[in-house]
Amino acid sequence: MATIYVIIVTYNAMKWAEKCFTSLRSPSLPVKCITIDNGSTDGTQEYIKTHFPEVDFIQASENLGFGKANNLGIEKAYKAGADFFYLMNQDAWIYSDSFQKILEVYSNHPDNSKIGILSPMHLDGSERKLDLHFENYLAKDLRNNRMLSDIYFGEAKEYYEISFVNAAHWCIPRNIIEKIGGFNPYFFHGAEDYEYVNRIIYFGLKTVVCTQSKVVHDTVQSFYKKEPNDKAELLKNKRLSMIMQRETKYLDLNYGYDTKREKTALLSFALKMGAKGNISEYKFYMEQYQYFSKKFKEIEAARKTSKTAQHPFLNL
């Protein structure tokens, strides 16, 4: 029987802890759980250790961020012999047959060595609708897989290939951990799952969604974060997002990255904004130029590690 390790990173998780960890006691398949706490201050650690003693609890020495903390759990699960690594958010829970239905897809697939990530269907906290963000990810591939039509007419297939799904519920087979590795520690929080999926794509692997497996992700059901009223703060947030998007692009192995070209492009655009008299944009792109000038070597090293290292970013 396959060994499944559920890996959960916690940070002030008391709102969901009972539902999240209780759900792991009822699967039709036996699972083991490793939890890495990133420095909670709301009593999460004590609650888990007291009420869920079966959980293998790791207290991080500092807030490691999402990716590094998950890597700790992946490393421990791998050394313990895990066949599947199930990464689950703290604001999430499963049903009794969630894992069974995922493994059925894996077993029935004609070439499961090509599956990089298996995802169940994500419901929102009400458990009556799909999670809005998950539904949006599905929608981007509907023109290719006709999933909506199949479901509407009661002809849903066991699984569909999709281009991206967030890491709230990821099931990763052991051979993929050995090839793709863990999360890139370049990111503290925010784009780790996009970077990982880009590596999955680069190596010719697939992300599949399993239509008969459902789970819950109790996240905010809106695409719009509450924006600050202060215009300066709003602009700052927008520009931070732009920088992260640029970092994600640079680290994408599918992108034809060249340090010299990217450096020249940033400087050229800054000078162009300056020549037009747009001082604000000139300063912003000069700040980007200076920021990335210090980051390019780290980006080059991370790209090389992703392409050539054995189980990248993991200490196995």
Count the helix, strand and coil residues of the chain and give each as a percent rounded to the nearest 5.
45, 20, 35
Percent with pLDDT over 90 in the chain = 89
Token reading at 64: 């490691």
Of the pLDDT bands very low, low, confident and very high (cuts 50, 70, 90), residue 1 is: confident
pLDDT at site 225: 67
Give the model confidence (pLDDT) of 53-92 as tens digits: 999 999 999 999 999 999 999 999 999 999 999 999 999 9
**Separation CA 200–CA 229 (nearest Å):** 39
Residues 6+ apart with CB under 8 A from 33: 5, 6, 7, 8, 21, 24, 52, 54, 55, 56
For residue 216, the model assigns a pLDDT of: 98
At 234, which helix (H) or strand (E)? helix 231-251
Tens of pLDDT along 9-21?
A: 999 999 999 999 9
Higher pLDDT, 309 or 189: 309
pLDDT at 234: 75
Residues 107-164 have pLDDT tens digits of 999 999 999 999 999 999 999 999 999 999 999 999 999 999 999 999 999 999 999 9
Confidence of residue 34 (pLDDT cuts 50, 70, 90): very high
Provide the pLDDT confidence category of residue 27 given band limits of 50, 70 and 90: confident
Would strands 84-88 and 4-10 be described as parallel, antiparallel, or unpaired?
parallel
Q: How far apart are CA 147 and CA 156, in angstroms?
A: 7
Q: Name the more confident of 190 and 168.
A: 168
Dump pLDDT digits (tens) for 164-184.
999 999 999 999 999 999 999
| pLDDT tens digits, one per residue of 39-53 | 999 999 999 999 999
pLDDT at 226: 65
Question: Greater confidence, 229 or 99?
Answer: 99
Instruction: Please give the mean pLDDT across all residues of the chain.
Output: 95
CA dist 224 to 48, 124, 127, Å?
A: 32, 16, 21
- pTM for this model (two decimals): 0.94
